[in-house]
Amino acid sequence: MRIRSISHPGTISRTIQMLPPEFYKRMKPVIFCLEDFEMHRFLLETHLTRLLADRVEVKYFRSLSQLKASHGGCQLLISDLNVSDSKAENTARFLLDYCEHTPVIVQSTEEDLPGQLEQQSAGRIQAAEKGGQGHRFTEAIEHFMAQFDQKVL
């Protein structure tokens, strides 16, 4: 850890602790998961643990209003479309806005809407299997982690 003293004429000097670069490399990305159905949430949690172990911090939300009220941000949102307080079309509109600043993985039993979101978002939304059970989900998570690791380095 480096310590640097800063002073300006006529002011009290301050000491700032600079953290080593390794500290920032160890930062874990935060993933938000919007899923209201307990069984799908359990499956998602199981698959995320299998794929990522402790490389990420995961926060779960049961409703869109809970997610909107959350403080802090995330580096990835994994979202169901039909949740207790939002129909698929409403959640889809929210995700199109959200993906402007955060990548999104959509999981849904809806047939057409996830694919439409992929096309409308220019690659910022990826459709994947429900509950994290499949190769599209695995590929999307691996792609996200590779991109995150490149940003940190």
Tens digits of per-residue pLDDT, 69-102? 998 899 999 999 999 999 999 999 999 999 999 9
CA separation for the pair 147, 9 (Å, rounded):
44
Q: Where are the domains of the chain?
A: 29-152
CA separation for the pair 153, 25 (Å, rounded):
7
Tens digits of per-residue pLDDT, 101-126? 999 999 988 889 999 999 999 989 99
What local confidence, expressed as pLDDT, does residue 14 receive? 46
Tens digits of per-residue pLDDT, 21-73? 555 455 899 999 999 999 999 999 999 999 999 999 999 999 999 999 998 89
**Is the pTM value of this prediction over 0.75?**
yes
The token pair at 67 is 């997610």
Arch. (CATH architecture) of 29-152 = 3-Layer(aba) Sandwich (3.40)
CA separation for the pair 101, 55 (Å, rounded):
22
Of 38, 90, 45, 43, which is closest to residue 64 (Cα–Cα)? Answer: 90
pLDDT at 7 over 90: no
CA separation for the pair 117, 111 (Å, rounded):
12
Tens digits of per-residue pLDDT, 125-143? 999 998 888 999 999 999 9
Asked if 33 and 57 count as a contact pair (C-beta separation under 8 A), the reply is no
Strand 2-6 with 14-18, pairing: antiparallel
